Homo-oligomer: A and B are copies of this chain.
Amino acid sequence: MSSFKGRYSYAVDNKGRVALPAKVRKNVSPGSNDTFIITRGYEQCLFVYPQDEWSKVEESIRGLSPSNPQHRFFVRTLLQWAVDCQLDSQGRLSVPQDLLKFAGIENEVLILGVLERIEVWNPKIYEAYMNNQPATYETVAEVVLKPTP
């Protein structure tokens, strides 16, 4: 199981290539074979899954029933934005233009390690997101980390 963490500032070159931080690459299990799946995430950021973690997501999608209209909609919605992507020899991912556009990314990105996935943000959007949270770190922690009774 992956356990990505940390926060990294990186440049995006004019070919849409984003370097994965070395510390992140070291956490990818070797079975994933430098293959990642990039897709839309929550809050206008991109989710990047190493292949083995994506397989778990795909398993849950396969559990949906093809004869159920709502499930068909679910599957289409989730898979339509997903792209396979290989690391190049410099450890970079070439991100498709429509995904960059969705996340509002131009020249620079913020990369976050979030356990089983990696998130890619426009730094300004991330800052705005953080500033718009009604609660503070401490008050949220109180709710989230409360031991179940």
Contact = CB atoms under 8 A, between A and B. Distances in A.
Given A42-B69, A115-B61, A148 B56 contact: yes
Contacts of A79: 4-6, 112-115
A7 B97 CA distance: 13
Interface stretch (A12-20, A87-95, A139-147): A139-147
A4 B80 CA distance: 10
Contact of A147 (B62, B70, B73, B116): B116
Nearest to A137: B77
A37 to B, nearest CB: 8
A106 interface: no
Interface string A1-34: 0011111000000000000000100000000000
A93 to B, nearest CB: 14
A31 to B, nearest CB: 16
Interface in A59-92: 60-62, 69-70, 72-84
